[in-house]
Amino acid sequence: MKNEKKKILFGEFVTGAGLARALEMGAGKVVDEVKASKLRGRGGAGFPTGLKWELTAKQESDEKFVICNADEGEPGTFKDRLLLMEQPEKILEGMAIAGFAIGAARGFVYLRGEYIYLRKILEDAIVSMTERNFLGKNIQDSDFSFDVEIFLGAGAYVCGEEFALISSMNGYRGEPRNKPPYPSEVGFRDKPTVVNNVETLCYVPYIVTKGSEWFKEHGTQASTGTKLFSVSGDVKHPGVYELELGITVNQLLTEVSGEGAKSVQVGGASGLNVAEKDFDKPICFEGLPPGGSIIVFNHKRDMLHVLKNFMEFFVEESCGQCTPCREGNYRLLEGVKMLEKGECSVRYLKELEALCDVMKDSAKCGLGQTSPNAFLSIVENFKTEILYR
Amino acid sequence: MTTGTRAVADELQEILLNHEKDRTQLLPILVDINKYFGHIDSNAIIEVSRYTGVPIGEIHGVITFYSFLGQKKRGRFVIRLCRTISCDIAGKDQIVRVLEKELGIHFGETTDDGVFSLEYTNCIGMCDNPPAMLINDKVYGGLTPERVVDILDSFKLSEYQDMFGYGGVE
Ligand SMILES: Cc1cc2nc3c(=O)[nH]c(=O)nc-3n(C[C@H](O)[C@H](O)[C@H](O)COP(=O)(O)O)c2cc1C
Ligand code: SF4
Ligand code: FES
């Protein structure tokens, strides 16, 4: 943690306090409290966590599951790595509270293969939590039992998408599928399943102990709480910062010693490129995408080179299932290569922008729907820099 | 080495028996085989199919889906250098040149002695300490040419040959 102002996640914490409080409150009240906090998912999509739990809690089923999404693969994101490394018990406690709230007895951490060096830390935390009866059978003498296992990924960005993640766990190719049904109805082993991001789960023990009103003191009306930002690129102090949602790009840059930036990629490759003129805009669910990846570019950087790097990423990581994404990203990359050679006309660039709109509307999952954002925003912000070079 | 020879077949069976006979164990099984043998050959695929009941064609489909799994043998140490933007602007290209020069191979290749493979990977979540790479299960950030050479030297075969299942010098 870079900033000394310890807000929520890196503040005081006693393992098990949240779980004990949850057991006192009862499952229904836990769901209500999380709903009242207006906590929204920190994995990108921003779905209200309490509502997700409520939908899953309602399902009648002999078995339900909690999955912690630790597939963190969005370029420029590493905040979950830090949580996994330094706060594994908080993650597990959040999972147990989720399990209690929805009526699940088993949870999984889907850990990206690239993070295999964190497995031991998680395993040790599971053992230690089980020894202290914060996991395992009859937790704290209640009739609630909950076990957690680790499921290792094998190198595929798209597996972070919740449907793809579930397919991957079910033993199929990690491909997204059409919705509905949602995981809350048909998930792991076709049973009702809650999928939450690592960071989302970490706020939960605080919300149940300190209350939703306290949580709402942070952030904005529609984006409550704080957010971990992964800051990299041309800044003096790269690292993870916990900041209020609703912070402007300018404020953030001051916080991380990134003054003098040419542009900032907010929300990773699938987020938006933000130029100086927009640095006063807030980062939150109602503003710039709050995924947490912040990549800063200084005035030396060639933005076409940056764009090419992002498009290569999407071409490589597209699962290839649907045409708009598979072909679209390929065409966009080709367009970037034409721009590099000064061979892309203004007219053709317009065609590519129209293609972007088609991709946004018709791609099956978030990957293909958001990959045009980098293209559109960089082209828009730096048209004179990249055309006819 | 193919998984068809007797000793190897025993090891393969041992990996299988560590997992439930269930489709949800398919990826964990493949990950273990890939880690132990350095790849998943056609004999292993047949055995996995027999054990889990998943058709061979679908197992192929799953293997090709994941960048860490492969049917072609990789080196004992797979070096995966991040090529995503934060590493790229932090001097990734220089690290590419050091690795290629030191190992005498290009990216996408394996050294003749089967010790090192060079690959690119996308963001590995080390963007705060770039450029970064993975070597098998370990991560290395803040790479400089000198550091890369030191790291490669530390992977001298003699120290590591027992660490991986298909050990011994071939
Ligand atoms: C291509 C793609 C990749 C994703 N990768 C991740 C990821 O690495 N981690 C994550 O938590 N969510 C990721 N998501 C979002 C998940 O689909 C899902 O919304 C999230 O895990 C739900 O948890 P939350 O509500 O707590 O955010 C990704 C989505 C898409 C479309
Ligand atoms: S949008 Fe892309 S990643 Fe998503 S399902 Fe379609 S091809 Fe696959
Ligand atoms: S960009 Fe290389 S680790 Fe993230």
CATH of residue A275's domain is 3.10.20.600
Q: Are A107 and A28 in the same domain?
A: yes
**Could you tell me the pLDDT band of residue A321, with boundaries at 50, 70 and 90?**
very high
pLDDT tens for each residue of A90-131: 999 999 999 999 999 999 999 999 999 999 999 999 999 999
Query: In the structure encoding, which two tokens stand for residue A358, read together?
Result: 């088609």
Give the model's pLDDT for residue A268.
Answer: 97
Tell me, yes or no, whether A151 lies in a domain.
yes
CB of A77 closer than 6 angstroms to any ligand 2 atom: no
Q: Looking at the CA of residue A76, tell me the nearest atom of ligand 3.
A: 4
Question: β-pairing, B77-82 with B116-121?
Answer: parallel
Give the model's pLDDT for residue A134.
Answer: 98
Query: In the structure encoding, which two tokens stand for residue B121, read together?
Result: 């990977």
CATH number at residue A333: 1.20.1440.230
Residues of B in contact with A69 (CB under 8 A): none
Q: A316 — contact with chain B (CB < 8 Å)?
A: yes
Least confident of A78-82, A145-149, A310-314, B3-7: B3-7
How many angstroms separate the CA atoms of B170 and B162, rounded? 13
How far is residue A255 from each of residues A238, A277, A321, B46, B146, measured CA to CA in Å?
11, 19, 41, 56, 33
Q: Are A75 and A93 in the same domain?
A: yes
Query: In the structure encoding, which two tokens stand for residue A223, read together?
Result: 């984006």
pLDDT tens for each residue of A185-225: 999 999 999 999 999 999 999 999 999 999 999 999 999 99
Give the model's pLDDT for residue B162.
Answer: 46
pLDDT tens for each residue of B133-161: 999 999 999 999 999 999 999 886 545 54
Q: Are A290 and A311 in the same domain?
A: no
B24 contacts A169? CB cut-off 8 A:
yes
The ligand 1 site (C-beta within 6 Å) comprises A 41-45, 47, 49, 69, 71-73, 158, 160-162, 195-197, 200, 365-367
Residues A364-375 have a mean pLDDT of 97
Give the model's pLDDT for residue A389.
Answer: 87
The strand pairing partners of A228, in sequence order, are A242
A229 membership: H or E segment, kind and range: strand A226-233
Q: Are A8 and A124 in the same domain?
A: yes
Query: Is pLDDT above 70 for A331?
Result: yes
How many angstroms separate the CA atoms of A182 and A196, rounded? 13
Q: Looking at the CA of residue A176, tell me the nearest atom of ligand 2.
A: 5
Give the model's pLDDT for residue A6.
Answer: 60
pLDDT tens for each residue of A246-266: 999 999 999 999 989 999 999
Q: Are A20 and A162 in the same domain?
A: yes
Query: In the structure encoding, which two tokens stand for residue A108, read together?
Result: 């999984």
Q: Are A185 and A255 in the same domain?
A: no
Q: Looking at the CA of residue B131, tell me the nearest atom of ligand 3.
A: 2
CA of B77 to the centre of ligand 3 (A): 20
**How many domains in chain A?**
3
Q: A158 — contact with chain B (CB < 8 Å)?
A: no
Q: Of how many residues is chain A composed?
A: 389
Q: Are A160 and A273 in the same domain?
A: no
The strand pairing partners of A151, in sequence order, are A110
pLDDT tens for each residue of A39-91: 999 998 999 999 999 999 999 999 999 999 999 999 999 999 999 999 999 99
Pocket test for ligand 1, best of A108, A114, A169, A197 (most atoms within 8 A of CB): A197
Query: Is pLDDT above 90 for B166?
Result: no
Q: B31 — contact with chain A (CB < 8 Å)?
A: yes
CA of B37 to the centre of ligand 1 (A): 32
Residues A18-26 have a mean pLDDT of 98
Residues B83-101 have a mean pLDDT of 98
Alpha helices in B38-165 (DSSP H): 42-52, 56-65, 85-88, 92-103, 145-154, 157-160
Q: Are A122 and A195 in the same domain?
A: yes
Note whether A39 and A78 are within 8 A (CB): no
Domain encompassing residue A175: 4-216
Tell me, yes or no, whether A115 lies in a domain.
yes
Give the model's pLDDT for residue B165.
Answer: 41
Q: Are A164 and A238 in the same domain?
A: no
CATH number at residue A171: 3.40.50.11540
**Could you tell me the pLDDT band of residue B35, with boundaries at 50, 70 and 90?**
very high
Tell me which residue of A115, A118, A291, A239 sits closest to B129, measured CA to CA: A239
Query: Is pLDDT above 60 for A285?
Result: yes
Q: Are A11 and A127 in the same domain?
A: yes
Q: Are A118 and A259 in the same domain?
A: no
Tell me, yes or no, whether A221 lies in a domain.
no
Q: What count of other Cβ atoms lies within 10 Å of the Cβ of residue A165?
A: 27
Final residue belonging to a domain, choices A216, A241, A265: A216
pTM of this structure: 0.96
CB of B139 closer than 6 angstroms to any ligand 3 atom: no
Give the model's pLDDT for residue A5.
Answer: 52
Residues A227-248 have a mean pLDDT of 96
Residues of B in contact with A175 (CB under 8 A): 65
Q: B131 — contact with chain A (CB < 8 Å)?
A: no
How many angstroms separate the CA atoms of A265 and A58, rounded? 39
Q: What type of residue sits at position A297?
A: F
Final residue belonging to a domain, choices A298, A327, A352: A298
Q: Of how many residues is chain B composed?
A: 170
Q: Are A286 and A326 in the same domain?
A: no
Note whether B12 and B166 are within 8 A (CB): no
Q: Looking at the CA of residue A329, tell me the nearest atom of ligand 2.
A: 2
The DSSP letter of residue A285 is T
Q: A117 — contact with chain B (CB < 8 Å)?
A: yes
Pocket test for ligand 3, best of B80, B84, B120, B139 (most atoms within 8 A of CB): B84
Alpha helices in A59-197 (DSSP H): 79-86, 88-102, 119-131, 162-169
Q: For testing the chain B interface, which of A115, A166, A172 should be mutated: the one with the most B CBs within 10 Å?
A: A172
Q: ipTM, 2 decimals?
A: 0.96
**Which residue has the CA at smallest separation from atom 25 of ligand 1?**
A41
Domains and CATH numbers, chain B: 6-65 (1.10.10), 77-163 (3.40.30.10)
Give the model's pLDDT for residue A256.
Answer: 93
Final residue belonging to a domain, choices A258, A279, A298: A298
Query: Is pLDDT above 80 for A4?
Result: no
Percent of chain A predicted with pLDDT > 90 = 95
